[in-house]
Amino acid sequence: MADVAFIRAAGDTTIIGLRLPNGLTPPLVPSSLVFDNEEQVHLDRVSEDDGGITSFSTEQVPPTDLVGRRVEFRQWWSVESFDAVADKSRSWSYMAAPPPEKHQHCILDWVTISTASEVRSGWYSDDSWICPDCHQRYIVDDHLGICGGA
Ligand SMILES: [Zn+2]
């Protein structure tokens, strides 16, 4: 759970300050704020961390005034997922999906990759698969700014 300390607009983005519990494992983004039983706001970047309050930026505007509320903080990726994306030395090969009995899951959003699913190709490296959407967003575009690119 996280307590919402402040929310402010900064151009096209919204900055959300959260008081997070101690002992969270990285990565803190991508993540979501969950309240009223729904995933409501996706957090894309950590913009500042002053120790007590961690500021996140998002392209979304929260649907209600969240300041002072306690919400669920849901992290999307494991340490392994983050490392796979951040490791620039790793090379990914574009491949056709395996058959359903050997189906794979994208390590970033868990979408099913198989010849019988909607996602029929993917990027493969070292026993890990990433779906084309995630590959474009997180590796090619480096949406989170974690690949060490410009
Ligand atoms: Zn994916």
Q: What is the pLDDT of residue 149?
A: 45
Tokens 């002992």 belong to: 23
Taking the C-alpha atoms of residue 60 and residue 44, their distance in angstroms, rounded to an integer, is 10
Say if residues 33 and 51 touch (Cβ distance below 8 Å). no
Phi-psi region of 3 (alpha: psi -120 to 50; beta: other; left: phi over 0): beta
Q: Give the pLDDT of the chain (150 residues) as one tens digit per residue.
A: 999 999 999 999 999 999 999 888 878 888 999 999 999 999 988 888 787 899 999 999 888 889 999 999 999 888 888 888 888 889 999 999 999 999 999 999 889 999 999 999 999 998 899 999 999 988 998 877 776 543
The protein residues having their C-beta less than 5 angstroms from ligand 1 (an ion) are 106, 108-109, 111, 131, 134
Q: What is the whole-number distance in angstroms between the Cα of residue 71 and the centre of ligand 1?
A: 25
Residue 111 is which amino acid? V
**Domain residue ranges of the chain, discontinuous segments joined by +:** 2-76, 80-140
Say if residues 4 and 52 touch (Cβ distance below 8 Å). no
Domain topology for 2-76: Elongation Factor Tu (Ef-tu); domain 3 (2.40.30)
